[in-house]
A and B are shown apart, each in its own frame.
Chain A
Amino acid sequence: MSGIQFKNVSKLYQQGENQVLALDEISLTVEQGEFIAVIGPSGSGKSTFLAIAGALLHPSKGEVILNGKNLNELKPKDLAQLRLEEIGFILQTSNLVPYLNVLEQLLVVKRMAGKLAKADKEYANELLQSLGLAAKLGKLPEQLSGGERQRTAIARAFMNNPSIILADEPTASLDSKRAHEVVQLIANEAKSRNKAAIMVTHDERMLEYCDKVYRMEDGRLKHDDSFSHEKLKAISSKG
């Protein structure tokens, strides 16, 4: 079974005396080729949800099945391998390596996996070109605008051709034109290459590109029908 599956996943944060139930019995399936959005108020558990999906955090209860693999059963080394090969992470702040230029940000992913082939370089160039970064290949992160950095991070997330794309507020630092472009790109990647994609966002204008919208509230996830596809389109044409 490919895609990603949550089975009754709960996450309890222990902070001294206090316990915070950040995720409460979440069950969800995202198939290949499906692009879903998670919205919800601050502190509702969206980032926690994404971190668990990205194998960065262990659930307190329940299990996550990623491309048929139960994450609970993997060793830390295998989890790193899985993150490298199957997950593309796009973070709110772009999180680039400060001393690598745009092209190298992508190539380092290949180096982590082993040898760097000539085809990888070509692929990286293509990716950056399609993201409008062809003129910025040799620039360091500090020489880029916020949007350029974000697009670099997206290209990096696509570099290893992952089967799952996870994005935590990818448009937060972008103007609305760039924001639309970026989300469109993720949607395209999910559709054309048959990937499962999950995006956490505050920006309701971005929901038009998604197949389903889920609302997170106090750690509980609900399918939100109010954003049916037609309705989404209507909102976007107004805005």
Chain B
Amino acid sequence: MFLAIKELKHGKLRFLMIGVITVLIAWLVFILSGLGNGLSTLSAATFKNMDANYVTFEDGSRSSMSRSLLSESLVEKLENQTNVSAASAMGATMGTVLNNSKSDDKEKVDIAILGITPGSFLEPNVIDGKPLQAKNSLEVIANDTLKKKGFKIGDILKIEGSLEKMKIVGFVKNETYNHLPAVFTTLDKWRSIQFAAPGSDKGIEKPVNGIMLKGENVDSAKIKQLFKNTETVTKAAAIQGMPGYKEENGTITMMLAFLLAISAFVLGVFFYVLTLQKSNQFGILKAIGASNRFLGRAIVSQVFLLSFISIVVGILLTYGTALILPDEMPFSLDLKLVVLYALLLLVISILSSLVSVRKITKIDPLQAIGRME
């Protein structure tokens, strides 16, 4: 550590440059992970927020709400299964609405219409206004991003391609589904929007898209045995089944993986060149008795210090960036992810410095002191 710090102080410019590169890499990694997290939140926040552990779909729907159709009557039967503490049905439809309360408003807004049972564990808490009422199927609660689009409590929404209307009575926060702001309504209302065309419900009595189950260690194989036309998966698997979710996450993860691999290489080369430049010094130190361990520790602690500071600066820059990013930008930093990537970067830079440590063990002190000429 002594050598490491002394040298850092002496070669400020050189180490500043490597530090800046590390900061930029860290910054990029955190921004990407923030974007990835933001995107996945946007596509499945409602699912993620739900206090459910499992989801039951129609058999063959491959964990996708949009491909699944079940009867609401299953809810009661599922609730009676072992380890299931509660069950509640849900339906989802994408729609386009106009604000009917403003006659001059021609701007259409895309939303996700989610049918749930009022008062069930699927209903999110309102931050403004009042919750859903079972008896009043006109009333809906909407995600607060609609507020920014000019919607207020009491506004009437007209659904395109349907005769149905909805009235906003409350707002909820962070509820997006399939990248769209979620609007929660009753299951009955949802059915009248979704299955307006005769026969579109395939003759299923009280159809829903899926049934959310609460409870640990639910035996999905047994449920499958009892109810042949169903499949039950964990919530995580259901989130993977959201349209585009896997693909988006895959893209971001790929980019991150490449970025990390490239940064390992870039940093490794930097440290290596730096070590080569200093091989003479290391030779001197070896000639007067420095062990490989002593020199190796000097390098690793130097890289550790440099990376640690750079990563911290990178994190600060990222949070600074988050402040100035526009609201529509799906950017959300998860502290857990930030810590994870920070540790990963630290490990990568230390691993990449090991190449240099290996080099040191090979330095011949005799050569370094110029064969004493």
Known: A47-B371, A104-B6. A77 touches B291 (CB 8 A): yes
Q: Any chain A CB within 8 A of the CB of B195?
A: no
A–B pairs, 17, beta carbons within 8 Å: A47-B371, A57-B366, A83-B289, A84-B288, A84-B289, A85-B289, A87-B289, A93-B370, A95-B284, A95-B369, A97-B3, A99-B6, A99-B10, A104-B6, A109-B288, A111-B2, A112-B288
Q: Which residues of chain B are within 8 angstroms of A109 by Cβ–Cβ distance?
A: 288-289
A156 and B372 form a contact (CB under 8 A): no
Q: Any chain B CB within 8 A of the CB of A59?
A: no
A168 and B281 form a contact (CB under 8 A): no
Q: Any chain B CB within 8 A of the CB of A3?
A: no
B372 and A168 form a contact (CB under 8 A): yes
Q: Any chain B CB within 8 A of the CB of A161?
A: no
Q: Which residues of chain B are within 8 angstroms of A16 by Cβ–Cβ distance?
A: none
A54, A99, A108, A113: which contacts B287 (Cβ < 8 A)? A54
Which A residues between 68 and 108 are near B, CB-CB below 8 angstroms? 77, 80-85, 87, 89, 91-93, 95-100, 104, 108
B2, B291, B369: which contacts A81 (Cβ < 8 A)? B291
Range for the number of chain B residues in contact with chain A: 20 to 34
Q: Any chain B CB within 8 A of the CB of A50?
A: yes
Q: Any chain A CB within 8 A of the CB of B235?
A: no
B6, B10, B285, B373: which contacts A47 (Cβ < 8 A)? B373
Q: Which B residues are closer than 8 A to A by beta carbons?
A: 2-3, 6-7, 9-11, 281, 284-292, 294, 365-366, 369-373
Q: Which residues of chain A are within 8 angstroms of B370 by Cβ–Cβ distance?
A: 93
B372 and A83 form a contact (CB under 8 A): no
A47 and B372 form a contact (CB under 8 A): yes
A80, A83, A87, A100 pick with most chain B CB within 10 angstroms: A80
Query: Could you tell me the distance between the alpha carbons of A54 and B366 in the complex, rounded to whole angstroms?
Result: 10
Closest A residue, CB atoms, query B291: A80
Q: Any chain B CB within 8 A of the CB of A12?
A: no
Q: Which residues of chain B are within 8 angstroms of A235 by Cβ–Cβ distance?
A: none
